[in-house]
Amino acid sequence: MVEIGVTGKRRITSPQEEEGKQRWHIVQLICGYTGILVVVYGLLFYAVSREWLILAPAIGFCVLFFSVKWFTGKENYRLTGFLLQIVYCLVMLYYGIILGNVAQVQYLSIFMISISALLFRPDDKKLIYGSALLPVVCLTFLELNYSNDWIRPLFFSYQQEQIFRWLILFVVILLNFILLSMHQQKLVGMLRKSRELFYQLDISHQELLMHSESLEQQVLLRTEELNKLIVQLQGANRLKTAFLQENNHEVRNPVNSILGFTERLLKHKKAPFLTPLEEQELIECIYSSGQHLRNVVSNVLDYSRLEAGRELHLYYEEFDVREWLQKSVLVYGVMARERKINIHQRVDENVPATIKTDKTRITQVFFNLMGNAFQFTPRNKSIYIHCWVEDNRLMLKIRDEGTGIAAGRIGSIFNEYETAYHKGGAGLGLGIVRKLLDLLEGDIEVSSVEGEGSIFRINIPLQPR
């Protein structure tokens, strides 16, 4: 319970303190009721008997009851209760002596014994037993006095005695009624607190269930997310493993080609056996393999930078589009002759003499698209290259007569490590193409018919913004 003092500060009271205050309040009520009753009955008895020995002590006992009520604090409820019992014993002894058997003190003793359990806490056993023993001692003394006639009571007529009996019977009934009412109020209060406690426990139980269900759902959700993440990581790990294997293959092939062609040239220098045309063809093969190797390395380096969150820097320059396209296509001349693939290129008249963009990056895009076309185009087929301008953007289309792409896989071919169809490869080419075109403010479109070939269309602005 929270108690607010005169300073405005909150103080939390313990259950024991709260119970002590309740018992002190009960003692206050009993003192007040009994103090009033003893005066009222003193006046009534005086009116019947005209005896000051009845009225004067009644006033004194009233003062004692109210003294107990006013001069004991809340924290001293035990002392207050015990003093109340002592005053009751004094009343019992005095009126038991001067009224004799008419006082019917045994009824009052029953009330005093019953009230002991109400004045003190259950763990105050010594006080309860002592408080209950006091009326027994007083009653025993009075019975001995009646038997031995140590102190004689006042003399009353038969009519007066009858009036006294009924008055005493009424007050005993009234006191016990007050006692029962207080017990009932205490019991009702305990039941109310029990209901409040059960209600709070029920609310806490419901909140705990809701929290438990929410926590269970969160655990299931996090577990599901974790399982998905594990699957993704396992998939990424498998893809990266495949990427390393395939990338090793892509690097090894051009390196072996360069070494093989260079070895033939070295032997030719020592003992010429090649014609000038064959020598030129070997040099072109070395150049083509070198360009292919550089493109593979560039893809890996660019992908590593992007994975690390680093930006790729662009270096814009003006260059001749037609010359650039012709030299870029020549890189694949040796490969085209070896695989008997025809390369057809067309540049429309509306293409300007020069454009301004990052030449290295657009070359990397072109090589990746050409490498993709060569990878999936079988022997004795063709690759078509078309360049034109539309809406101030350079358009470049590369069409192959390869195996094509299934409709359900077109959306995933730009993912990293996606090796597409059924061929090998590192799977970085098309993913890098999309990222590079985004940097160049360009775009790419794909259309394909499985079994007939694919068309890749890219576009970039003629001038950077």
Q: What is the pLDDT of residues 297-352, one digit of tens each?
A: 776 776 666 666 677 788 899 999 999 998 888 878 777 888 899 999 999 999 99
d(CA 19, CA 218): 44
Closest CA to 352 of 315, 325, 322, 327: 322
Which tokens go with 355? 């454009």
More confident residue, 344 or 4: 344
pLDDT above 90 covers what percent of the chain?
29
Q: How many CB atoms lie within 10 A of CB 231?
A: 10
Instruction: Say if strands 2-4 and 10-12 run parallel, antiparallel, or are unpaired.
Output: antiparallel
Q: What is the pLDDT of residues 119-165, one digit of tens each?
A: 888 888 888 888 889 999 999 999 999 889 899 999 989 999 899 88
E strands, 335-392, are: 342-347, 354-358, 382-390
Q: For position 381, what pLDDT does the model report?
A: 92
The yes-or-no verdict on residue 406 having pLDDT over 70 is yes
The residues spanned by each domain of the chain are: 13-204, 279-461
CATH of 279-461, one of 3.30.70.3040, 3.30.70.1430, 3.30.565.10, 3.30.2400.10: 3.30.565.10
Three-state SS for 380-406 is CCEEEEEEEEECCEEEEEEEECCCCCC
Note whether 430 and 407 are within 8 A (CB).
Answer: no
What value, to the nearest 5°, has the Cα angle with vertex 296 and ends 254 and 289?
Answer: 25
Contacts of 172 (CB under 8 A, 6+ apart): 104, 107, 108, 111
Which tokens go with 108? 């009052």
Instruction: Say if strands 342-347 and 10-12 run parallel, antiparallel, or are unpaired.
Output: unpaired
What's the number of CA atoms in the CB half-sphere (13 Å) around residue 216?
6
448 to 258, 343, 399: CA distances (angstroms): 34, 19, 9
Note whether 388 and 378 are within 8 A (CB).
Answer: no
Contacts of 97 (CB under 8 A, 6+ apart): 142, 145, 151, 153
Instruction: Say if strands 342-347 and 382-390 run parallel, antiparallel, or are unpaired.
Output: parallel
Dihedral angle at the C-alpha atoms of 133, 137, 142, 147, nearest 10 degrees? 120
The whole-model pTM stands at 0.47
